[in-house]
Amino acid sequence: MSFFGAVFVSLTLFWQWHLSGAVLVLPFVVFVLIGLPASYVIRAPGDGIKPSPKEERVIMWSSIGEGIGLFLVSNIVINLHRPDLLLPSMALVVGLHFLPIAFAARFRPFYVLGGALIAAAFAGFIAGAPAGGELAGLMAAAALWLASGIAVRRDWLAKESTAAGS
């Protein structure tokens, strides 16, 4: 999630603000800052959050659908010569991808994340060009980065509780 938050910011910088070069790498610093504690938590003793086989299948199929959806919406908006709709469309697809995962995992925070991304998409659609892309891209990134931090903390707490009980 943290990586895709960085992607949303980089795309916003490129598509909406027409920046290029090294500045597009800066959002990935946030990815690294979230990734470092995640790397620590992954290696920590104890059992973290493990999805069931059913949840793993839903995650796989939902992610495949997300990839196909992102490919389709990007081609549609580019062929319609509406690049201003790219980031809101991407936020919509990514948000929709979290809903079946939330249902399968019975995990309400994924409903909230999916809803936040869908809200970012609609805010972008409603605001229109050029602010709509900026709004959708930055809101989506913020939601994904916040969710990433919460997920790392959640897994850390789960590992601490099982490591202490061992």
Q: What is the pLDDT of residues 32-72, one digit of tens each?
A: 999 999 999 999 998 888 999 999 999 999 999 999 999 99
Tokens of 113: 């994340």
pLDDT of residue 132: 96
> Is the Cβ–Cβ distance between 158 and 46 less than 8 Å?
yes
For the chain, the distance separating the N- and C-terminal CA atoms, rounded to the nearest angstrom, is: 30
Instruction: Please state the pTM of the whole predicted model.
Output: 0.93
Q: Using alpha carbons, select from 123, 121, 72 the residue that is nearest to residue 98.
A: 121
Task: Provide mean pLDDT across the span 115-119.
Answer: 98
| Cα 143 from Cα 9, distance rounded (Å) | 12
- What is the distance between the alpha carbons of residues 138 and 8, in angstroms, rounded to a whole number? 7
Instruction: Answer yes or no: is pLDDT of 165 > 70.
Output: no
Q: What is the pLDDT of residues 68-112, one digit of tens each?
A: 999 999 999 999 999 999 999 999 999 999 999 999 999 999 999
